[in-house]
């Protein structure tokens, strides 16, 4: 360690990216590292664990592509409800923008799957190839049995994690228990195996090989951050007033007497950075606000006996004027709008119809029955969108009582069942205006009067029909 002997001078130096082109980070500890570790653990548990939960005899969270249904515990989302999912994605995106205005790219540093999986792959590197200096030396060494064994162990663990990730992801679209069973018994169909392999390969490449290149070159969010930031956005900053001029010194030396600031130029902030930047050069596109440099610098300040916070979360306004404006109009407006959108989504979700009714009119315009009456033929497609059996009553509504519904009036549907009910509508009177008019079909739950839905259709007859 650089600070193993605090009485020794630490030479001023810059740490270049290794000759291999890889960024090897140093192992470190600290508040933000622990926060990120615990947060990532919760996200991992949520991702890998939720797929295995059962709810009322089926997988709790499942996008059933074959039946076009999305199960979320006790709720079933049908194609007719996909606007809710679209709204949820919009709320998520707007929430991310709001978070970015407040605290920069903390999503990238703490919760983005690219970052979470990259940190996990870096941990695998540390346990198989050693700490930073050992990995740099291993890169420079010629191939040998020891190097091959270490690299094989690393890539084997990477591939296992990638396979588990791809399998779990596909497990949200097809039941994961039979999926794993089929994989273990080598009976997995080719199409499903291809999708598992595709997402596993994406994980392996993004977290194992591309890493910071995804954040820097492929992610559009990194290029949009400058548009979302303002002078009060929390970003990772280096206090140049306090830190400059940089220079090595002994712990017992007075930096002011040497004409130095608090930065001892140890470059630990660079060595722990997953994107390989020097935060002392100012905010950069590659910075993902993970706080690694803060933990490293704070540990150095503790050992030197200096105040923490030479590198910290701060805002441009705080660094120049001295006070961050938290309740600024832009922030308040975005939080208010996000709250309204979220409330609207919850209300729409709770009040979504639990039965669906689609009305299809027969291709023929109309026909005359045996009693000389004009009738139209319809097919009523009824869907029970709940997870319990229900009995429904079908009725017809018209303002003047000129129509009569003929055919079955009641039906019973099992959870998620779809039934097509053929009915006919007979004209009892005369169409006073034109040759067509509007009708309203209604499906009502016989046990819960709040569950009902009405759908409009047209009745067609010859002009002036009696």
- Residue 334 confidence class, pLDDT cut points 50, 70, 90: very high
Average pLDDT over residues 156-181: 97
pLDDT at 464: 61
DSSP string, 286-326: T-----HHHHHHHHHHHHHTPPS-SEEEE-HHHHHTS---S
* Domain boundary, last residue among 186, 210, 234: 210
pLDDT at 60: 95
* Domain boundary, last residue among 210, 234, 258: 210
Q: Is there a domain that residue 156 lies in? A: yes
pLDDT at 15: 42
Average pLDDT over residues 313-328: 91
- Residue 8 confidence class, pLDDT cut points 50, 70, 90: very low
Q: Is there a domain that residue 237 lies in? A: no
Q: Is there a domain that residue 273 lies in? A: no
- Is residue 217 within 8 A of residue 223, CB to CB? The reply is no
Angle (CA) 208 180 126, round 5°: 25
User: Is the preceding omega at residue 245 within 30 degrees of 0, hence cis?
Assistant: yes
Cβ atoms < 10 Å from Cβ of 441: 23
Q: How far is 114 from 434, CA to CA, in rounded Å?
A: 62
Residue 10 has pLDDT above 50, yes or no: no
Structure tokens at 240: 């140049």
What is the pTM (predicted TM-score) of this model? 0.84
- Is residue 110 within 8 A of residue 39, CB to CB? The reply is yes
Q: How far is 237 from 281, CA to CA, in rounded Å?
A: 9
pLDDT at 3: 29
- Residue 12 confidence class, pLDDT cut points 50, 70, 90: very low
Q: Is there a domain that residue 61 lies in? A: yes
DSSP string, 129-185: H-SHHHHHHHHHSPP-HHHHHHHHHHHHHHHHHHHHHHHHHHTTTTTHHHHHHHHHT
Give the CATH number of the domain where residue 377 resides. Answer: 2.60.40.10
Domain that holds residue 382: 355-460
Q: Which residues contact 363 (CB under 8 A, 6 or more apart)?
A: none
Among 377, 359, 353, residue whose Cα is nearest residue 444: 353
Higher pLDDT, 226 or 160: 160
Q: Is there a domain that residue 154 lies in? A: yes
Q: Is there a domain that residue 385 lies in? A: yes
Residue 71 has pLDDT above 60, yes or no: yes
Indicate the number of domains in the chain: 2
Packing angle between helix 31-50 and helix 113-129, nearest 10 degrees? 110
E strands, 309-400, in order: 311-314, 355-361, 367-368, 374-384, 390-397
Give the three-class secondary structure for 361: strand
Q: Is there a domain that residue 51 lies in? A: yes
Q: How far is 3 from 286, CA to CA, in rounded Å?
A: 28
Give the three-class secondary structure for 111: coil
- Is residue 25 within 8 A of residue 145, CB to CB? The reply is no
pLDDT at 435: 72
- How does DSSP classify residue 113? H
- Residue 9 confidence class, pLDDT cut points 50, 70, 90: very low
Angle (CA) 277 236 101, round 5°: 120
267-298 pLDDT, tens digit each:
999 999 999 999 999 988 889 999 999 999 99
Among 108, 92, 88, 95, residue whose Cα is nearest residue 236: 108
- Using only the alpha carbons of the chain, give its radius of gyration: 32
Q: How far is 317 from 344, CA to CA, in rounded Å?
A: 35
Structure tokens at 222: 């990194």
Highest mean pLDDT among 331-345, 364-378, 388-402: 331-345
At residue 39, what are phi and psi to the nearest 5 degrees?
Answer: -65, -45
- How does DSSP classify residue 188? -
Give the three-class secondary structure for 295: helix
Torsion of CA 243, 246, 249, 252, to 10 degrees: -20
* Domain boundary, last residue among 210, 245, 274: 210
Q: Is there a domain that residue 465 lies in? A: no
């Amino acid at each position: 360690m650089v600070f193993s002997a605090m009485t020794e001078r630490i030479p001023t130096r810059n740490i270049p990216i290794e000759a291999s082109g890889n960024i090897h980070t140093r192992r470190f500890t600290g508040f933000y590292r622990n926060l990120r570790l615990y947060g990532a653990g919760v996200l991992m548990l949520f991702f890998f664990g939720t797929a295995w939960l059962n709810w009322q005899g089926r997988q709790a969270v499942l996008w059933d592509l074959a039946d076009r249904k999305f199960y979320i515990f006790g709720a079933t989302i049908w194609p007719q409800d996909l606007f809710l999912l679209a709204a949820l994605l919009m709320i998520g995106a707007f929430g991310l923008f709001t978070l970015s205005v407040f605290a920069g790219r903390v999503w990238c540093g703490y919760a983005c799957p690219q970052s979470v999986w990259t940190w996990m792959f870096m941990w695998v590197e540390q346990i198989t190839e050693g700490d930073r200096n050992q990995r740099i030396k291993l890169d420079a060494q010629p191939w040998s049995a020891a190097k091959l064994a270490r690299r094989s162990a690393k890539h084997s663990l990477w591939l296992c994690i990638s396979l588990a990730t791809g399998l779990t992801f596909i497990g949200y679209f097809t039941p994961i228990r039979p999926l794993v069973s089929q994989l273990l018994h080598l009976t997995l169909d080719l199409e499903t195996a291809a999708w598992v392999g595709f997402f596993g390969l994406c994980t392996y490449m993004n977290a194992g090989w591309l890493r910071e290149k995804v954040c820097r070159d492929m992610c559009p969010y990194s290029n949009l951050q400058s548009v979302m930031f303002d002078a009060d956005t929390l970003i990772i900053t280096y206090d140049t007033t306090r830190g400059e001029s940089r220079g090595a010194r002994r712990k017992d030396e007075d930096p002011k007497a040497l004409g130095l600031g608090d930065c001892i130029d140890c470059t630990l902030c660079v060595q722990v950075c997953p994107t390989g930047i020097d935060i002392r050069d100012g905010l950069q596109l590659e910075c993902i606000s993970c706080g690694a440099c803060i933990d490293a610098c704070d540990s150095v300040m503790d050992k030197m006996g200096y105040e923490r916070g030479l590198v910290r979360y701060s805002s441009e306004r705080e660094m120049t004027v001295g006070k961050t404006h938290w309740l600024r109009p832009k922030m308040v407006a975005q939080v208010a709008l996000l709250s309204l959108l979220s409330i609207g989504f919850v209300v729409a979700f709770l009040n979504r119809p639990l039965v669906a009714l689609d009305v299809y009119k027969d291709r023929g315009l109309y026909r005359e029955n045996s009693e000389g009456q004009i009738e139209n033929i319809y097919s009523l497609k009824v869907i029970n969108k709940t997870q319990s059996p229900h009995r429904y009553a079908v009725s017809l509504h018209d303002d003047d009582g000129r129509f009569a519904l003929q055919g079955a009036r009641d039906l019973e549907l099992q959870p998620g069942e779809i039934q097509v009910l053929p009915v006919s509508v007979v004209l009892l009177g005369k169409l006073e205006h034109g040759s067509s008019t509007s009708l309203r079909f209604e499906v009502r739950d016989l046990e819960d009067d709040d569950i009902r839905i009405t759908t409009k259709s047209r009745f067609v007859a010859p002009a002036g029909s009696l």
